[in-house]
């Protein structure tokens, strides 16, 4: 337990010194020896999670913990976004390779230069095939799922920070606005129902 806490503290210290970035990359001019020992993956986010979820100290405000959790969720989303971009960009590389091979084969078999419309149609056909094939793979679906989950987690923790800050400064929270909106909607329904009743009674009196 003590070694884990020490490692967590050293990870945050390395980040504060500019040795490593949010995505785990080692900054230029920094030594990779010690950074590599503490950076097998998403260690900064995991370190923040462990420190925040640890014992609650009296000198640590609740909003500090929630800001740290939101920061950790932001790091996680950035990494999931990078993974998603890597998977989503793969079909373009394959489409470019296939297109060059197709055009090269067409150039050797024909003496005239291919029309740009035919070339564009062939590129559209190849790229659409590769995109559809990629979007049906398990890797793409998994990356898309993880990105969506990370985004929802970040949004939830941002809402926690906003609500805590609003309570701290005596401002209305989102929950308060939701309650007011719900009450206003119910009041409008009651007013419409009452207006219909009055209109129906007036119609009956006229008869």
Mean pLDDT split into 10-residue runs, the chain, 207 residues: 48 49 46 42 64 58 84 92 94 94 74 77 94 94 95 94 88 90 96 91 72
Provide the token pair at 156: 């939830």
Q: What is the largest CA-CA distance in the chain?
A: 94
Q: What is the structure's pLDDT at 56?
A: 60
CB-based contact 19:35 (threshold 8 Å): yes
Task: Read off the pTM.
Answer: 0.62
Taking each helix axis from N to C terminus, what angle separates 43-52 and 62-109, rounded to the nearest 10 degrees? 160
Rounded Cα–Cα distance for residues 141 and 11 (Å):
32
Q: Which of 153, 20, 145 is nearest to 87 (CA)?
A: 145
pLDDT score of 203: 75
HSE, CB side, 13 Å, CA atoms: give it for residue 129: 11
List the helix and strand counts (H, then E) for the chain.
Answer: 7, 0
pLDDT of residue 26: 43
Contact 76, 148 (CB under 8 A): no
pLDDT value of residue 207: 60
The pLDDT, as a whole number, for residue 204 is 74
- Residue 173: its pLDDT value, please? 87
- What's the pLDDT score for residue 175? 87
- pLDDT at site 51: 63
């Amino acid at each position: 337990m003590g070694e884990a806490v020490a490692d967590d503290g050293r990870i945050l210290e390395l980040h504060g010194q500019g040795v490593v970035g949010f995505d785990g990359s080692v900054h230029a001019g920094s030594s990779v020896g010690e950074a590599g020992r503490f950076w097998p993956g998403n260690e900064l986010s995991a370190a923040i999670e462990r420190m925040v979820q640890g014992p609650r100290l009296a000198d640590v405000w609740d909003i500090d913990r929630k800001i740290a959790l939101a920061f950790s969720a932001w790091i996680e989303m950035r990494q999931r976004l990078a993974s998603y971009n890597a998977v989503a960009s793969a079909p373009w590389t394959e489409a470019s390779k296939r297109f060059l091979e197709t055009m090269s084969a067409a150039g050797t078999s024909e003496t005239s230069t291919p029309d740009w419309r035919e070339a564009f149609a062939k590129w559209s056909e190849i790229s659409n095939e590769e995109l559809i094939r990629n979007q049906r793979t398990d890797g793409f679906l998994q990356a898309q799922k993880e990105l969506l989950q990370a985004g929802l987690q970040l949004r939830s923790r941002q809402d926690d920070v906003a609500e805590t800050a609003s309570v701290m400064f005596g401002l209305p929270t989102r929950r308060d606005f939701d309650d007011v909106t719900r009450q206003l909607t119910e009041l409008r329904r009651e007013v419409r129902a009452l207006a219909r009743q009055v209109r129906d009674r007036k119609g009956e009196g006229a008869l």
